[in-house]
Chain A
Amino acid sequence: MTPDDLRAQVAGFLAAHDPKTTERLEFLRARYDAGLAWVHFPEGLGGQGAARALQPVVDRAFAAAGAPDNDPRRIGIGLGMAAPTILAFGTEEQRTRFLRPLWTGEEVWCQLFSEPGAGSDLAALATRAVRDGDDWVVTGQKVWTSGAHNSQWAILVTRTDPDVPKHQGMTYFMCDMTAPGVEVRPLRQITGEAEFNEVFLTGVRIPDSQRLGAVGEGWKVAQTTLMNERVAIGGNALPREGGLIGMVSKTWRERPELRTPELRDRLVQHWVEAESLRLAASRLRQQLTAGAPGPEGSAMKVAFSELNQKLTGLEIELLGEEGLRYDDWTLRRPEKVDFLGREAGYRYLRAKGNSIEGGTSEVLRNIISERVLGLPSEPRVDKDVAWKDLPR
């Protein structure tokens, strides 16, 4: 499969489905059925087993033709985390049932992982699932669930056996967010808006047919999700001065009255770091394409978080008087994180989450030092202890 093959396929598809006259959802469904949704997925499931790196070729060709996209940022959790997990662990029926509406955005997904007592130590989670005939009955509380208020489905990790050590007693499900007993409450954040939620699960019945992977193998399934989460954060190829650095540089150029020598030196330092990070991300993608995935992903996320935080802090200082103001504290329920669509204060506050979400920088540094550099692991006092006997 070459880029030209794919461009030819897209051209053929567009000839048969004029985006100007085809209804959006109909267009997206047809694109999925043509294997032009995510080209690295298998045939029949929206793809054709091509290299993942070829996806941008297809996306660009559709965008150039003015075709509707599936609003990837709105359904990012489904695309980045649920889909690869369903592909890896789902049965044929599950893949066929769930992947198409996931990709078209007809069904939005969220991720019921973290709990008030299980954040970085995710395997400590306490949400119980108890077998009852063909169903499981789930009770517990989840937190930091972005987009739960807009979601039809969730990927869910539960505890099914409290009598074995924590990593062994977990089971992974797909949970219908409209099922009785699912209650979503907004969790208002530092920015004033409620992008995240608390989710209370009270006697929720989940059919066994919605289990992903074997009973007791939930940790293994969750690892697939988490690895894909970090790949997804690596994100798209940005041009030079793409993203936040471009926004601050633009302000610098347009507002000479704000400039000071001290701010200039910091801005140029951040510019250099942003360019360096962009190149490192690009190198990581080239390694993935060449089939030699590097362990750089965790390092990229650590560096990216730090830069975003420094840069958004500088932006407020640069703005002087304006930096003392905030755009809007009204409680909102956004469909997606919009870093560039809001003002500097929002960016500064939202960036605080970058070093926490998707693995804290501290946990990622442990991962780098242990899995990449081979340093001794942290002492594990919980390793051979049944989950029910762990202090909490």
Chain B
Amino acid sequence: MSELPTPDLLYSDVEEDLRASVRDLLTDQASPAALLARVETAEPYDLKLWKTLAADLGAAGLMVPEELGGHGASARETAVVLEELGRSVAPVPFLGSAVLATSALLAAGGSVAAELLPRLAAGELTGALAVPLSTAPGAAFPATVSVNGDGTLSGRAGTVVDASVAELLVVPATGPDGPGLYAVEASAAQVTELVSLDLTRRVADVELDHAAARLVVSGAAAQAALDTALTTAAGLLASEQTGLTEWALTTTVTYLKARYQFGRPVGGFQSLKHRLANLYTDLVNARATARYAADALAGGFDVPIAVAVAQARVAPIAVHAVEEAIQLHGGIGMTWEHPAHLFLKRAKSDELAFGTPGRHRARLADLVDLPA
């Protein structure tokens, strides 16, 4: 194993300040009761909250350089925002827009990206990357959308995250010159919202029928830009999953201190204490692993391994933590009125997003030379 740079696995003061602002906003605007009231309405996403988060707090432009209207921060700061979004399952299109579409355009470069990125960074424009949410880094370039002779796009992309509220679609499509990434106005496409397993993060089918499109980047660079976006999203998702884990642990601890059975707090029973201690141990591991992925993405070192390890390790921890939270809440954990189900739906969907843990393990095995 070659020598790696020493990672910074802690949070800087600036990151902690950012966390505090995001947490304040979400505590105020995305309480569990408000989320539950919203999920079955015609407006499942809170676009007012999204504007505040993206524009006023500047969260959408963290990874965008200053010359393109962003904050010139990095994946580390973006990861902190995702931790908080995981702790609150706030219904905002941060993943699709600020992570996926933004990373794809940043990696693509060129004049179209340079025109669109400042608007994404400022929160004026919400974007989505037109690939299935389950697409893993390293997957083959999608072949479901083709470029027509007149430069328009036709085809379909299923289960696209955040597409139903996006104004801009970044679409991978295959033309006579090979793969390309294209910018399409959502109004030129037919976007059909699906019933999503995750009530606070929506998926939609995108149909394109001779949709007007602008080429962002073509050839191997398009393929690389798509892969960078998927890799960045997979690595940063581990921070959201860490936030979910933290929510599950702290909420369950609070509940078990307050809930009395057999004449004493349920949290005093050793069998339950040990399960919570195990969750804490998992959280310690998840946090370090997710921080490493964010630091690796920010520093541009060891990225493929860091991301594969993060998704292989942290995704199952988050699912297990929320499953434990539901079990340890007893009957109330199964009810619609308790928010635990929102977190379970998010954790399980996240486990599939950008490749399952098994898929990341298989990729890792190749990366670190553990052959079949």
B75 contacts chain A at the CB level, 8 A cutoff = no
A71 contacts chain B at the CB level, 8 A cutoff = no
Q: Smallest Cβ distance from B16 to chain A, in angstroms?
A: 12
A296 contacts chain B at the CB level, 8 A cutoff = yes
Q: Smallest Cβ distance from B234 to chain A, in angstroms?
A: 14
B47 contacts chain A at the CB level, 8 A cutoff = no
Contact between A253 and B276, CB atoms less than 8 A apart: no
Complex Cα spacing A375 to B358, Å: 35
B281 contacts chain A at the CB level, 8 A cutoff = yes
- Measured between beta carbons, the chain A residues less than 8 angstroms from B256 are 375
Contact between A373 and B268, CB atoms less than 8 A apart: no
Which residue in chain B gives the minimum CB-CB distance to A240? B1
Which of B7, B273, B281, B370 interacts with A299 by CB under 8 Å? Answer: B281
- Measured between beta carbons, the chain A residues less than 8 angstroms from B265 are 375-376
- Measured between beta carbons, the chain A residues less than 8 angstroms from B276 are 368-369, 373, 375
**Total residues of chain B contacting the partner, CB 8 A:** 44
Whether A376 contacts B10 in the complex (CB less than 8 A), given A277-B285, A279-B292, comes out as no
Contact mask for chain A residues 242-276; partner B; CB cutoff 8 A; 1 contact, 0 none: 00000001001100100101001101110111011
Within 8 A of B (CB), among A355-371: 362, 364-366, 368-370
Which of A240, A267, A374 interacts with B253 by CB under 8 Å? Answer: A374
A384 contacts chain B at the CB level, 8 A cutoff = no
- Measured between beta carbons, the chain B residues less than 8 angstroms from A279 are 7, 9, 285, 288-289, 291-292
B194 contacts chain A at the CB level, 8 A cutoff = no
Within 8 A of A (CB), among B1-35: 1, 3-4, 7-10
Q: Smallest Cβ distance from A13 to chain B, in angstroms?
A: 26
Contact mask for chain B residues 238-250; partner A; CB cutoff 8 A; 1 contact, 0 none: 0000000000010
Complex Cα spacing A283 to B365, Å: 25
- Measured between beta carbons, the chain A residues less than 8 angstroms from B249 are 373
Q: Smallest Cβ distance from B196 to chain A, in angstroms?
A: 28
Which of A276, A373, A374 interacts with B313 by CB under 8 Å? Answer: A276
Complex Cα spacing A271 to B368, Å: 10
- Measured between beta carbons, the chain B residues less than 8 angstroms from A277 are 285
Contact between A283 and B368, CB atoms less than 8 A apart: no
- Measured between beta carbons, the chain A residues less than 8 angstroms from B270 are 366, 378
Which residue in chain A gives the minimum CB-CB distance to B270? A378
Whether A368 contacts B277 in the complex (CB less than 8 A), given A299-B284, A303-B285, comes out as yes
Complex Cα spacing A272 to B289, Å: 10
B177 contacts chain A at the CB level, 8 A cutoff = no
A241 contacts chain B at the CB level, 8 A cutoff = yes
Contact between B369 and A286, CB atoms less than 8 A apart: no
Contact between B4 and A240, CB atoms less than 8 A apart: yes
- Measured between beta carbons, the chain B residues less than 8 angstroms from A271 are 364, 368, 370
Contact between A372 and B280, CB atoms less than 8 A apart: yes
Contact between B289 and A276, CB atoms less than 8 A apart: yes
Whether A268 contacts B371 in the complex (CB less than 8 A), given A276-B285, A283-B291, comes out as no
A377 contacts chain B at the CB level, 8 A cutoff = yes
Whether A362 contacts B274 in the complex (CB less than 8 A), given A264-B372, A299-B281, comes out as yes
Complex Cα spacing A275 to B288, Å: 10
Which residue in chain B gives the minimum CB-CB distance to A259? B372
Which of A239, A241, A272, A283 interacts with B361 by CB under 8 Å? Answer: A272
Contact mask for chain B residues 284-311; partner A; CB cutoff 8 A; 1 contact, 0 none: 1111110110000000000000000100
Which residue in chain A gives the minimum CB-CB distance to B9? A283
B99 contacts chain A at the CB level, 8 A cutoff = no
Contact mask for chain A residues 213-236; partner B; CB cutoff 8 A; 1 contact, 0 none: 000000000000000000000000
Q: Smallest Cβ distance from A55 to chain B, in angstroms?
A: 16
Give residues in B with beta carbon < 8 Å to A.
1, 3-4, 7-10, 249, 253, 256-257, 264-265, 267-268, 270, 273-274, 276-278, 280-281, 284-289, 291-292, 309, 312-313, 358, 361-362, 364-365, 368-372
Give residues in A with beta carbon < 8 Å to B.
239-241, 249, 252-253, 256, 259, 261, 264-265, 267-269, 271-273, 275-277, 279-280, 282-283, 286-287, 290, 296, 299-300, 302-303, 362, 364-366, 368-370, 372-379
Task: Show 28 residue pairs from A and B whose CB-CB distance is below 8 angstroms, ordered by the A residue.
Answer: A239-B3, A249-B370, A253-B369, A264-B365, A268-B362, A269-B361, A272-B312, A276-B313, A280-B285, A280-B288, A280-B289, A282-B7, A299-B277, A302-B277, A303-B281, A303-B285, A365-B273, A365-B277, A365-B278, A366-B277, A368-B277, A368-B280, A369-B267, A372-B277, A372-B280, A373-B249, A375-B253, A376-B267
